[in-house]
Structure 1
């Protein structure tokens, strides 16, 4: 078998979506997560596996979004959040899964991590979109797919979510206080009207003061 998350989908309370701040307001307004093209991903291993799946299943198109169930990582912010351009949405896992399951055309699942030998022996065709190299197992990735067996027309449909599923919004550590305040102000009316209970914070990955203070106590 591939490397699975300990406890599978049951581990942890959150599904987190790292994205760029410029899309935050539209995401909140539309109550929808964007589904992207795997062929545009920088990691060609991921994109190629999904393209192989698409060919084997005779699909016309497939769109995907990636979330994580794992703890915060510097490289999540640097790669997925584009550094000082990033924001992270924290969804209650159970509630977001209920949102996803209301759309019969979506597939979702935890990613399994394989060596090439394990992939060949243990992965099914249906598992290919949820397969990744073992080196990435710390990501604890979760994917949602929309498959098309005929050409999509118009704008691609995303993943609709209930505002109550979203619990926290974290802005990146690179922003100054004034920059962060400015970003919060942009979504103020949305928060007051639709996201009243959402906690808005700034991530402290780059300077976690409690850890620094602990170091000062070392003798």
Structure 2
């Protein structure tokens, strides 16, 4: 099932940047953990013969441990949930940006491909990454070398901000206050994720049926 919201996993510094500047920033793929993915992006840039290729990765699925662990590990992790329609409209309105779902392929299928369309390279990953269900935006500039590209985004597009499940509970409130103190952000819904320590889930143990008595 398609999620109503799209999720951007990032860190606290990036979240502050987004809220202060009302924009999402597309960055270089050179530092991505998946070296296959960053290689495809660098080859796309080389073959296309352009000066700049930047990207941002968005998750189109519910909160998962995988996303937190891989993309926002640590106490300063943040997950920002965006309204799908507003976010995609922002990408549409940003010149030079192409956006679509990532396609996940098996190595065996890739080996059989002939005359590969250059434009699939930024949107193709190996099959083992399929659980990410990634939606990606890519910015290309043929003539100007750029380290970053901002996509304007209205605060109304932000439906919820989830703070890291590894953030100490005692620190959650000060972080929420800081984010809400930014101009226009007082009404944002901000919560600490309970993914790894959920009290309602833990209450299941209290409903365990007593073991049968031994006669």
TM-score after normalising by structure 1:
0.87
Task: Name the residue aligned to 1:140.
Answer: 133
Superimposed CA distance per residue, residues 20-75 of structure 1 (whole angstroms, 9 cap, x where no aligned partner): 11232221010111212111112101101111211221112201111100121112
Give ranges in structure 2 of 5+ residues lacking alignment: 210-215
CA displacement at 1:218 relative to structure 2: 3.0
Q: Distance in 2 between matches of 1:107 and 1:197?
A: 31
Task: Name the residue aligned to 2:26.
Answer: 35
Q: Distance in 2 between matches of 1:80 and 1:137?
A: 15
What root-mean-square deviation, in Å, do the aligned CA atoms of Structure 1 and Structure 2 show? Answer: 1.8
CA contact under 8 A between 2:6 and 2:82: conserved in structure 1? Answer: yes
CA displacement at 1:196 relative to structure 2: 4.7
CA contact under 8 A between 1:164 and 1:195: conserved in structure 2? Answer: no
TM-score after normalising by structure 2:
0.89
The structure number with the bigger radius of gyration is: 2
Aligned partner (choices 202, 205, 208) of residue 215 of structure 1: 205
Task: Name the residue aligned to 1:118.
Answer: 109
Task: Name the residue aligned to 2:68.
Answer: 77
Task: Name the residue aligned to 1:174.
Answer: 166
CA contact under 8 A between 1:167 and 1:197: conserved in structure 2? Answer: no
Confirm or deny that 1:159 pairs with 2:151. yes
Task: Name the residue aligned to 2:213.
Answer: none
Q: Distance in 1 between matches of 2:133 and 2:194?
A: 21
Task: Name the residue aligned to 1:3.
Answer: none
Q: Distance in 1 between matches of 2:49 and 2:36?
A: 20
Poorly superposed stretches of 4+, deviation over 3 Å: none
Q: Distance in 1 between matches of 2:206 and 2:47?
A: 58
CA displacement at 1:76 relative to structure 2: 1.3
Alignment of 1:24-103 (within 5 A): 24-103=15-94
Q: Secondary structure at the match of 1:183?
A: helix
CA displacement at 1:197 relative to structure 2: 4.2
Q: Distance in 2 between matches of 1:72 and 1:172?
A: 11
Q: Distance in 2 between matches of 1:82 and 1:159?
A: 25
Task: Name the residue aligned to 2:212.
Answer: none
